[in-house]
Structure 1
Amino acid sequence: FYNDWRAETPWGHNRPDYGRPEVRRYILDNALMWLEDYHCDGLRMDAIAFIRNVHGEEDPNADLPDGWTLMRWVNEEIRNRQPWKITIAEDLRGNPAITRTPEDGGEGFSAQWSASFIYPVHEALTTMNDADRDMHAISRAICTHYNGDAFQRVIYTESHDEVANGKCRLPEEIGGGDVESYFAKKRMVLGAALTLTAPGIPMLFQGQEFLAPGSFNDTEPLQWDWAEAHAGLTQLYRDLIALRRDLRGVTPGLRGQGCHVFHVNNDDKVVAFARWDDSPENATIVVVNFANQARPGYTIGLPAQGSWTVRFNSDWQGYDQDFQNFTCYGADAQWGDYDGFPQHGSFDLAPYGVIVLSR
């Protein structure tokens, strides 16, 4: 361990001396053990901001060069031995060098947790008044990426840090203790839909798919009977995952790098964005209504002519009996400039609703 000011961490005077060969070898061997002996698919490395910097900040005067080179060495060894494995950094400082390749001076992680997604999305979902939700912040959260690669970030609305240590799960916070309230369920679904349709690697925390209440405690098991009680919401997650993976062959855009938030209405609290793989004309469109007010006949621009079909409607009552079954039909694109596109279409949006469209 360090024996000077570098030893200080938020958890005590206990930072390992990353410059000592035996410390570096111990940490590398531990990482390789999980991948090679236990056959894990990858590793998430915790709080690496405090490995590369004494204060966990972008402060050059407190940098720990030995910590930086240690993480780079670990990633290089993993890539050389098992290049198909993934390494994820919990850094949360938005530093693109974390996922830049070692050849380009980076640490070489495959992906990093994205503070630019969780915090603005969490703020928009938990804010009490619709008028206070910031659609411009949501727009920025959707398309942020590192080093030109949408999949170098991990996006989520719940994690072990966000729902423990004095914090509670997202629906618990939205509902003020009533996770089964209409508002808790509807706005939780907005977060789920964004997580599973925005560019990035989506991460789900255990139990959020069936509205697990309270906060996370690793001494208390999940209440699995909630999965049966909220089977509809669990199905909603399954449907979103199927769309995200394009298992039905109708939403290939959700697997691609392309992303463009083309519609931001901060008055009506609506955001629409396009995701694509090969070309914008083959995009999948996601429209999100952050207000508790229906928007019938809501017009957005469309990136191509043709018939746009609704592939997902979050207000289907099969997902939850409190939902309103607000019907949303597809539409044929009509000529006329809108949102920067030469054609547009109109769709019915449910209160706190999400629709996914493709041709």
Structure 2
Amino acid sequence: MNQRDAITPAWGAWPAGEGQVRFALWAPEAKNVDVIFANGARSALQAGQDGFFSALIDCAADARYRYSVDGGEPVPDPASRWQPEGVHGPSAVQPTDGYAWQNTQWQGRPWDEAVIYEVHVGTCGGYAGMQAQLPQLAAMGITAIELMPLSAFPGAHNWGYDGVLPYAPVEAYGTPDELKALIDAAHGHGLMVLLDVVYNHFGPDGNYLHSYAAPFFNEDKPTPWGAAIDFRKPPVQRYFLDNALMWLHEYGFDGLRLDAVHAISPNAFLDTLRETIEASLPAGRHVHLVLENEANQASQLQRGYTAQWDDDFHNALHVLLTGEEEGYYAAFADKPTEHLARVLGEGFAYQGEPDPRGHVRGEPSGALPPHKFVVFAQNHDQIGNRARGERLTVLVSPQRLRAALALTALTPMIPLFFMGEPWGAKQPFLFFTDFGPPLDEAVREGRRREFAHFAAFADEAQRATIPDPNSHATFAASRSPIADAAHGDGAQWASWFKALLDVRRQWLVPGLAQARAVRASVLADGAVTATWELPGGLWHIAFNVGTQPVPLPPLRGRVAHVENVAADARQLPVDGFIAWHEAQA
């Protein structure tokens, strides 16, 4: 199978050739389903034994249509490939062969080469705007861009986690072909493209499945987003399996980041998803599957998932950098240095132990190789879930931040950097949506209530100053223009960042696939050291964001990188970092 081959899905509208389109909808409790076209024509679908209604219908390859279930109001296709008029408008049939790919020999890159740049496409000017940034990102040393979710959502701007039509790239950013052009161009620059997908819930506005396919959900299992998606049912599984295959094969994405998989039940669906994707891949193609999993299930990584976002790394590091201890940082406030050392040596800080609040999570992870963990000092969640969306650039000193980013970049774990981070962006990244009434007011007030238990927002007047998620100004303030990397402080920071990634590429990447942790230990409060075995030697780091200088361990070998410390120093200053390689026969 060629990576561009389309895989016939169970749901949705699919061009079948000779002027026909196959339509299929799962509506297990319905008696009748009709397709209603934009010109008023109406065609009935035939009922199958599995709850699907389907038919081959003569129509244009770009026809616009809706479904009517049992004579009800017309609704968009839940597997729509394109919603040109928004999530409440008609769906559009999409040709499967309309885009002429240029980089047809691209097979992806090995995971050990990954340096990930997480980005919100909407703040970059859509697919075309993002495409224009690719040469600069590649020149900085980025090897993979990770796009925040693209599934169609209501309104013009949203983080993407309120998507309701997972098969339809959101029209606010451009057309499906413009998305393909972005991916194609990225491959031409040697960049992998990963997509953040949300399979654990739908957004609150624009999903009509409840009205005609109630068994899609498990009403007995509530979640923060409503009734859980019922992954026990084969048609529900197929809905998401086909979606993953679409992104990987038709669009050519090089991997998926799976949002909040701890909210997917039964968990066995994750095995089915991974096995289905693996079976679809041609020999030699690199595709990477990355989890966000609050449960810290090391077993998922042992069974074949590529990696997991390591929130434990971020949380321990953030407490050390800022001293903040509220919210989810409370679980790391008791001994952040020990937590960071354990992450460096074993992957997860919590491996089945209760946290200070009594929450038990995690599985033993020490046997996993370090490249199974994606580490970051910042990401969309950790910046945007702050009331004012502040980045570390405005929370800590430049020296402290550089030490933290050096730690992020120069371990054998896989580093991820949030958009703007390579040039020291100071613009906030705020939480933004574009809901209509009454949902807009509910989101605005809900956002402010979230922060009522934080000391800085205990006063109602302070909470009233939290930016309105539905204001266009909130979205506009969240842009971090890449043009800032070309002048002033941004240019200096970008030059430093490129040099940092050059160190990673020279010293770590060649042996990263074989890297194994040897030890990690606490030097003092706020200071850690760690060692990994690489082919031909040992890789050491020492990091100090405590209150006092600490003695350095013996520096045997060649110093590869320093921050705020001399290469021959005997002590590691506050906000200091050093990495060195010790050759072994």
Per the TM superposition, whether the score is higher than 0.5 is: yes
Does 2:406 correspond to 1:151? no
Give the 5 Å matches for 1:151-190.
Answer: 151-167=371-387, 168-171=389-392, 174-175=395-396, 183=397, 185-190=398-403
Give the 5 Å matches for 1:246-261.
Answer: 246=506, 256-261=514-519
For the residues of structure 1 that align with 2:543 and 2:319, how far apart are their CA atoms?
16
Give the 5 Å matches for 1:10-49.
Answer: 10-13=224-227, 15-49=228-262
Tell me the equivalent position of 1:95: 297
Does 2:495 correspond to 1:235? yes
1:112 pairs with 308, 315, 318, which one? 308
Does 2:575 correspond to 1:352? yes
Does 2:339 correspond to 1:137? yes
For the residues of structure 1 that align with 2:385 and 2:552, how far apart are their CA atoms?
43
For the residues of structure 1 that align with 2:570 and 2:562, how far apart are their CA atoms?
11
For the residues of structure 2 that align with 1:354 and 1:31, how far apart are their CA atoms?
40
Helix, strand or coil: the match of 1:231?
A: helix
For the residues of structure 2 that align with 1:253 and 1:263, how far apart are their CA atoms?
23
Does 2:531 correspond to 1:329? no
For the residues of structure 2 that align with 1:357 and 1:3, how far apart are their CA atoms?
53
For the residues of structure 2 that align with 1:71 and 1:264, how far apart are their CA atoms?
36
Does 2:543 correspond to 1:288? yes
Change (3 A) 1:250 1:258: closer
For the residues of structure 1 that align with 2:270 and 2:240, how far apart are their CA atoms?
9
Instruction: Output one character per residue of 1:83-103: Cα deviation in whole Å (capped at 9) or x when no partner.
Output: 6200011112211122232xx
Q: Does the 8 Å contact 1:116/1:144 carry over to 2?
A: no
Tell me the equivalent position of 2:280: 81
Give the letter for the 1:311 counterpart: A
Give the letter for the 1:137 counterpart: H
What percentage of aligned pairs have identical amino acids?
25
Instruction: Output one character per residue of 1:275-329: Cα deviation in whole Å (capped at 9) or x when no partner.
Output: 22125xx11221212135556xx44145x6xxx33221223xxxxxxxxxx5x13
Tell me the equivalent position of 1:272: 529
For the residues of structure 2 that align with 1:43 and 1:128, how far apart are their CA atoms?
31
Change (3 A) 1:189 1:299: closer
| Structure 1 moving runs of 4+ over 4 Å | 249-256, 292-295
Change (3 A) 1:278 1:138: same
Q: Does the 8 Å contact 1:262/1:272 carry over to 2?
A: yes
Q: TM-score, normalised by structure 1?
A: 0.71
Give the letter for the 2:290 counterpart: I
Does 2:559 correspond to 1:310? yes
Tell me the equivalent position of 1:70: 269
How far apart are 1:353 and its partner, in Å?
Answer: 1.3
How far apart are 1:358 and its partner, in Å?
Answer: 2.3
Give the letter for the 1:4 counterpart: E
Tell me the equivalent position of 2:217: 2
Helix, strand or coil: the match of 1:271?
A: strand
In the alignment, structure 1 segments of 5+ residues that lack a partner are 53-63, 102-107, 176-182, 316-325, 331-345
For the residues of structure 2 that align with 1:86 and 1:31, how far apart are their CA atoms?
12
For the residues of structure 1 that align with 2:257 and 2:286, how far apart are their CA atoms?
15
Q: Does the 8 Å contact 2:552/2:572 carry over to 1?
A: no
How far apart are 1:40 and its partner, in Å?
Answer: 0.5
Instruction: Output one character per residue of 1:208-248: Cα deviation in whole Å (capped at 9) or x when no partner.
Output: 122222224563322334323322222232222222222xx
How far apart are 1:260 and its partner, in Å?
Answer: 3.2
Give the 5 Å matches for 1:332-343.
Answer: none
For the residues of structure 1 that align with 2:510 and 2:543, how far apart are their CA atoms?
19
Q: Does the 8 Å contact 2:261/2:292 carry over to 1?
A: yes
For the residues of structure 2 that align with 1:225 and 1:314, how far apart are their CA atoms?
26
Q: Does the 8 Å contact 2:539/2:579 carry over to 1?
A: yes
Q: Does the 8 Å contact 1:253/1:284 carry over to 2?
A: no
How far apart are 1:38 and its partner, in Å?
Answer: 0.6
Greater gyration radius: 2
Helix, strand or coil: the match of 1:288?
A: strand
| RMSD of Structure 2 on Structure 1 (CA) | 2.9
Helix, strand or coil: the match of 2:408?
A: helix
Tell me the equivalent position of 2:484: 226
Helix, strand or coil: the match of 1:204?
A: strand
Change (3 A) 1:87 1:252: closer
Does 2:412 correspond to 1:199? yes
Q: Does the 8 Å contact 2:527/2:545 carry over to 1?
A: yes
Q: Does the 8 Å contact 2:369/2:516 carry over to 1?
A: no
Give the letter for the 2:567 counterpart: Y
For the residues of structure 1 that align with 2:508 and 2:515, how far apart are their CA atoms?
17
For the residues of structure 2 that align with 1:251 and 1:300, how far apart are their CA atoms?
24
Helix, strand or coil: the match of 1:4?
A: strand
